[in-house]
Amino acid sequence: MAYKIVIKKKFIASLSDILSYLEKEWSIQVADDFVKKVDLRISALQNHPFIGALTRFKTIRGVHITKHNRMYYRVTKNKVTILNMYDTRRKTYS
């Protein structure tokens, strides 16, 4: 059963910030590669929503996109809600 994907505005804002940084400091190709990694991870969550590790918040799971970025999401009945993305080099609440 494929789960419905819902993406929160906070995630979109975080993704936008990361892409702006990557384009400015690295290249458009690096930013495009990052988007592909995010898309692959979201596609994987659609079919296998429990692949992410539980955080200390028990209903929130997290998966790595790259070694520097981790995506957080919540699984309910038939829906995966993508909540946010954080830089793993910063202190997070996982």
Which pLDDT does position 90 carry in this prediction?
62
Domains and CATH numbers, the chain: 4-87 (3.30.2310.20)
DSSP 3-state of 76: strand
> What sections of the chain are H helices per DSSP?
9-25, 28-47
Residues 21 and 13: beta-carbon distance below 8 Å: no
Mutual orientation of helices 28-47 and 9-25 as an angle, nearest 10°? 150
Q: What is the pLDDT along the chain (94 residues), one digit of tens a residue?
A: 799 999 999 999 999 999 999 999 999 999 999 999 999 999 999 999 999 999 999 899 999 999 999 999 999 999 999 999 998 776 544 4
Which pLDDT does position 91 carry in this prediction?
54
Reported pTM: 0.88
CA separation for the pair 24, 44 (Å, rounded): 29
Q: What's the count of helices (H) and strands (E) in the chain, helices before strands?
A: 2, 5
φ, ψ of residue 36 to 5 degrees: the values are -60, -40
